[in-house]
Amino acid sequence: MAQPHYQNQFKRVLGAGAWPGTLNISLYGDNLADYKSLRVIAGLEEGEGAEGAKPLRIHGFERDGRSFGGATAFDAEITRGGDEWIECAILIPDLTRHTETAEVISSSFLREALPCEDGDEVRIRLS
């Protein structure tokens, strides 16, 4: 996340560099189905993609013989209570073990900005 190559691309998605970490959100029910439709658009699952979701490509790169994978991002907003929404992006790495967890990036440290702790419920909407 903190690699300059990624940060330059995150500026295109977020309008600013991303906080060097993700907020991982466990998904279930309809939320999981919606997330899987984003994974279809990202090319990681079979099925129907989410209507109106615009994928933004994050390109991978190599440095010093080490490979850093690409990802697909989707512009979004996140809230904990519904009053204040914070710009963010859902990031789906090309190589990930997370199939029921959304990785969210933002220029803000979301745990403080929302604020939230493990187990708190948040809402995300595509923008």
Reply yes or no on domain 4-126 having CATH 3.20.20.450.
no
* Contact status, residue 106 vs residue 88, Cβ threshold 8 Å: yes
Burial of 10 (0-12, 13-18, 19+ CB in 10 A): buried
Identify the pLDDT of residue 93. Answer: 96
* Contact status, residue 122 vs residue 116, Cβ threshold 8 Å: yes
Q: Does the pLDDT value for residue 96 go beyond 90? A: no
Dihedral sign from CA coordinates of 13, 19, 22, 23: negative
Identify the pLDDT of residue 9. Answer: 94
DSSP state of 82: S
3-state secondary structure of 62: strand
* Band of pLDDT at residue 6, cut at 50, 70 and 90: very high
Percent of the chain with pLDDT over 70: 100
pTM over 0.85: yes
CA gap 115, 19 in Å, rounded = 15
Number of H helices, E strands in the chain: 3, 8
- Residues 46-86 have pLDDT tens digits of 999 988 899 999 999 998 999 999 999 999 999 998 889 99
| Neighbour tally for 39: CB within 10 Å | 20
Q: Where are the domains of the chain?
A: 4-126
